[in-house]
Amino acid sequence: MSRALVADLYELNMAASYLRRDMIAPATFSLFVRNLPKGWGFLVACGLERCLEFLEELRFEPEDLEYLGRELRFTDDDLEAFSRLRFTGRVRAVPEGRVVFAEEPLLEVTAPLPEAQLVETYLLNQVTYQSAVASKAARCRLAAPEASLVDFSLRRVHGSEAGLGVARATAMVGFTGTSNVEAARIFGLRAAGTMAHSYVEAFPSEIEAFQAFAEDFPDRVVLLVDTYDTEQGVSKAIEVAQQVERAGHRISAIRLDSGDLAVLATKARAMLDEVGLTEVQIFASGGLDEHALAELTAAGAPIDAYGVGTKVGVAADSPALDSVYKLVEYDGRAVSKLSTAKVTLPGPKQVWRRAGMAGDVIGLASEDGPGEAEPLLVEVLRDGRRTVTDGLSEAGRRFDAELAVLPDDLRSLAPKPQMVERTPALEQLAAEVAEEIRRRELG
Amino acid sequence: MSRALVADLYELNMAASYLRRDMIAPATFSLFVRNLPKGWGFLVACGLERCLEFLEELRFEPEDLEYLGRELRFTDDDLEAFSRLRFTGRVRAVPEGRVVFAEEPLLEVTAPLPEAQLVETYLLNQVTYQSAVASKAARCRLAAPEASLVDFSLRRVHGSEAGLGVARATAMVGFTGTSNVEAARIFGLRAAGTMAHSYVEAFPSEIEAFQAFAEDFPDRVVLLVDTYDTEQGVSKAIEVAQQVERAGHRISAIRLDSGDLAVLATKARAMLDEVGLTEVQIFASGGLDEHALAELTAAGAPIDAYGVGTKVGVAADSPALDSVYKLVEYDGRAVSKLSTAKVTLPGPKQVWRRAGMAGDVIGLASEDGPGEAEPLLVEVLRDGRRTVTDGLSEAGRRFDAELAVLPDDLRSLAPKPQMVERTPALEQLAAEVAEEIRRRELG
């Protein structure tokens, strides 16, 4: 796949037009989410890593140019200009793993206008789904703070690339493993997996399947007990666990994948404890999301770990965020849009966060900001090269730090909308730009 | 990315266990959707092409094996067996572009058990999201049968691979273009694109932006008129259209991206017609889905083409289907699952469709099926090699043929659930297998 062509055609049209007209002064675009998904109190920034990789490597390959000339009728001059194009600009961004709110820039790109425009589609594409999934997964952690959570989503996410993104995003917010082997390999995560119902069915009987699995993988035995009847499945798992104990091993867990998980887990825990198998954990899965986890937590279900799949992997209640990439300044001139319900705020920005997450302030990047507040946007790329080396583990530590200070009202799964203040200078610039546009365009 | 490792760990665990135990008799797995998304009357089969590619190419590379041995502690014998593993089986499938209902197999895999098990994750991953998007896009065609629909989703779908899948799925059901340049290149689609608000903002004034664009791309001028004020934007577009006409060219369309599209389109149409610009089309976009399209169609909005983006690209109301891949036969023995609310039907199956889509019948593959009915599942791969060459255009023709005979009650966006019959032989086998399991397991 050509990465440079992972773009909407209009980016190429606009870039070509700018290049022809020598409109190559610096432009700043701001990537932000206009409104949070219903019921979500915050977002977790994710996806920057892929964006920076993309920006560092951006170039049109000869076969890209050939296609653009032959099929899309870009001129030879356009193609020549595209062939020389690299991303030479600067990016300021909220580091991955940090909590952000609506309207707060996740990143700002400043570069010659054609470059800054061209990269819009890819940056939105990566940040949008990765931040949606990281945020949804973070809600799962809030819902089940004591349990171990494992990413089980690969089978129903939107492609294998999405599978990698989801495994990484969930790991960033503290999931302890993923079923996705390729993601585990690439990101150095713990690969986790048990057995399917098909395994049980392929053997002449359930207990023979359990015995075979315990024999084949003595150090990672998780027995799926609900193929036929959960309670009887637990009894058979106990029988096998006792056989295994006599041979000096121990099964890790049983897994419940259907039915009333709170009731079944309580029953299974009692059955296991009764015969002294107190160390055997209970693992649950099956259509779980943060709401299901919260109910199970509230019910005191004795579940040690959850396999969380589809609903988190596709961010089911908000599979896309209301993300945009908006021009806020060109050639020193602040710009904005006035159209119905989609007004944008002009100018390069900064977000300041008061200690203890006690309220954020959005203002102009040129301002000093309030005292005792931390700026969220930091430089991550300059002159087309990364200025920070950062990895998944740093991002994970940042998220843990955010989680530690997250105010109580944001820990709820249905929080009140958070108000983000704007500085007077930003409000004033917005008013001035709007007034200037009205005078000029709507005269 | 290693394709063989795009799998849940449990597939590898199970496959290794089967290989150690010489459990390599033929197994049949059935991939189907248990329940349709709320309000959807049918699904459109999509994703098979990538599955067949995957099956033909399946193999573990040396670096995959190295990882599996080092990190996941598979034994040397396991790795040796994996290194020799290829997909040698058979696939029967509903061809892409055909309409299917809940419980109907989209594909059935018959292969030695380890092979058939290993491919589960990838097949589900591809078929699930591609069929969800194709179905959602098909609903858009039902909602706006006369309009041209263009895929605008790339910026908010789940990665660049998903962008390709979405462009292909939407093209299959009759979208006339995509904004995704790479998808247009790979699949030979029409790349479509206009300008962003940023283009208008980067120029000193809106009319200068329109003039520049018309000059730079005289054969594909679509002017976005809602950056500041839609009505005044239309006036400026008309001014530019008239300048362009005097130079012997013609603008293609204006584009509305916000506000009350029915009202604004009606107003814009009148303004254009009044000055004789009857050929200039109206293109609309902005958060559209099948319901918005249906409302605009019902309101008689004079809109010629729609850019349909995020909500279709992520299948917003059902970003995942309730898809499963279930073992139905092993070594000649029909199997099924009995656990709570997730009972499966045993045995390899066929689906027969009565003429005029007058009801489907699911039965056993070994049955003759009802008279005057067409079998939907056809062989597409045998001995690990494709037996049909098929492409996107054939799939598109199949969808058009389905659409032409789609019964009225399925054309509604909120149809009654379609009942799919089961043959007596299937019901009988299901009862027998359930009885046998109860006797054996639940004693």
CB contact under 8 A, B442 and A124: no
DSSP state of A419: P
How many inter-chain contacts (A to B, CB under 8 Å) are there? 349
DSSP letter string over B9-70? HHHHHHHHHHHHTT--SEEEEEEEESSPPTT---EE---HHHHHHHHHH----HHHHHHHHH
Contacting residues of B for A184, CB less than 8 Å apart: 9, 71
DSSP state of A414: S
Q: What is the pLDDT of residue A342?
A: 66
Q: For tokens 């699995």, what's the residue?
A: A213
Query: In 3D, which of A106, A109, A91 has the Cα closest to residue A321?
Result: A106
**Which stretch of A310-314, B94-98, B365-369 has the lowest confidence by average pLDDT?**
B365-369
CB contact under 8 A, B67 and A185: yes
CATH 3.20.140.10, domain B9-133+318-441, yes or no? yes
Mean pLDDT for B382-387 is 98
- pLDDT tens-digit readout, A6-21: 999 999 999 999 999 9
Angle of helix B62-70 versus helix B76-84 axis, rounded to 10: 160
CB contact under 8 A, B202 and A310: no
- pLDDT tens-digit readout, A235-277: 999 999 999 999 899 999 999 999 999 999 999 999 999 999 9
Q: What is the pLDDT of residue B190?
A: 98
Rounded to whole angstroms, the Cα distance separating B351 from B107 reads 11
Mutate to test the interface with B, among A21, A181, A190 (most CBs of B within 10 A): A181
Q: What is the pLDDT of residue B356?
A: 86
Please name the residue of chain A whose CA is at the shortest distance from the CA of residue B152. Answer: A8
CB contact under 8 A, A71 and B191: yes
Bridging pattern class, strands B378-382 and B90-93: antiparallel
Q: Which two tokens stand for residue A106?
A: 């996740």
Q: What is the pLDDT of residue A406?
A: 94
Give me the residue from B319, B441, B442 closest to A314, CB to CB: B319
Q: What is the pLDDT of residue B1?
A: 64
Q: What is the mean pLDDT of chain B?
A: 96
- Is the distance from CB of A271 to CB of A256 less than 8 angstroms? no
- Whether B343 has a pLDDT exceeding 80, the answer reads no
Please name the residue of chain B whose CA is at the shortest distance from the CA of residue A331. Answer: B202
- Whether A299 has a pLDDT exceeding 90, the answer reads yes
CB contact under 8 A, A159 and B161: yes
Q: What is the pLDDT of residue A236?
A: 98
- Whether A200 has a pLDDT exceeding 80, the answer reads yes
Q: For tokens 């506000």, what's the residue?
A: B259
CB contact under 8 A, B5 and A194: no
Mean pLDDT for B373-383 is 97
Percentage of chain B beyond pLDDT 90 is 92
Beta bridge partners of B434: none
CB contact under 8 A, B197 and A339: yes
Query: In 3D, which of B293, B268, B325 has the Cα closest to residue B111?
Result: B325
Rounded to whole angstroms, the Cα distance separating B69 from A185 reads 12
Q: What is the mean pLDDT of chain A?
A: 96
- Determine which helix (DSSP H) or strand (DSSP E) holds A288, and give its type and residue range: none
Domain range annotation of chain A: 9-133+320-441, 144-313
Contacting residues of B for A14, CB less than 8 Å apart: 195-196, 198-199
**Which stretch of A104-113, B164-173, B211-220 has the lowest confidence by average pLDDT?**
B211-220
Contacting residues of B for A5, CB less than 8 Å apart: 181-182, 185
Provide the CATH topology of domain B193-290. Answer: TIM Barrel (3.20.20)
- Is the distance from CB of B204 to CB of A330 less than 8 angstroms? no
Give me the residue from B10, B157, B258 closest to A340, CB to CB: B258
- Is the distance from CB of B351 to CB of B369 less than 8 angstroms? no
CATH 3.40.50.1820, domain A9-133+320-441, yes or no? no
Give me the residue from A21, A72, A336 closest to B191, CB to CB: A72
CB contact under 8 A, B6 and A154: yes
Please name the residue of chain A whose CA is at the shortest distance from the CA of residue B179. Answer: A8
Please name the residue of chain A whose CA is at the shortest distance from the CA of residue B320. Answer: A156
CB contact under 8 A, A321 and B440: no
Cβ partners under 8 Å of residue A59, min gap 6: A4, A85, A86
Mean pLDDT for B36-53 is 97
Q: How far does the CA of residue A430 sit from the closest CA of chain B (Å)?
A: 14
Q: Which two tokens stand for residue B15?
A: 């496959």
Q: What is the pLDDT of residue B341?
A: 62
CB contact under 8 A, A182 and B6: yes
The C-alpha angle A31, B133, A118, rounded to 5 degrees, equals 30
Please name the residue of chain B whose CA is at the shortest distance from the CA of residue A333. Answer: B202
- pLDDT tens-digit readout, B227-261: 999 999 999 999 999 999 998 999 999 999 999 99
The model's confidence at residue A128, banded by pLDDT at 50, 70 and 90, is very high
- Is the distance from CB of A304 to CB of A253 less than 8 angstroms? yes
* Domain A144-313: CATH architecture, name and number where available: Alpha-Beta Barrel (3.20)
Q: How far does the CA of residue B99 sit from the closest CA of chain A (Å)?
A: 20
- Whether B160 has a pLDDT exceeding 70, the answer reads yes
Please name the residue of chain B whose CA is at the shortest distance from the CA of residue A185. Answer: B67
Mean pLDDT for B417-440 is 92
Q: What is the pLDDT of residue B272?
A: 98
- Is the distance from CB of B124 to CB of B325 less than 8 angstroms? yes
Question: B291: exposed, middle or buried (C-beta count within 10 Å: 0-12, 13-18, 19+)?
Answer: middle
Q: How far does the CA of residue B250 sit from the closest CA of chain A (Å)?
A: 18
Contacting residues of B for A169, CB less than 8 Å apart: none
Q: How far does the CA of residue B261 sit from the closest CA of chain A (Å)?
A: 11
Question: What are the phi and psi torsion angles at B14 (to 5°)?
Answer: -65, -45
DSSP letter string over B276-331? T-TT-EEEEESS--HHHHHHHHHTT----EEEE-HHHHTTTT-SS--EEEEEEEET
- pLDDT tens-digit readout, B91-115: 999 999 999 999 999 999 999 999 9
Question: B355: exposed, middle or buried (C-beta count within 10 Å: 0-12, 13-18, 19+)?
Answer: exposed
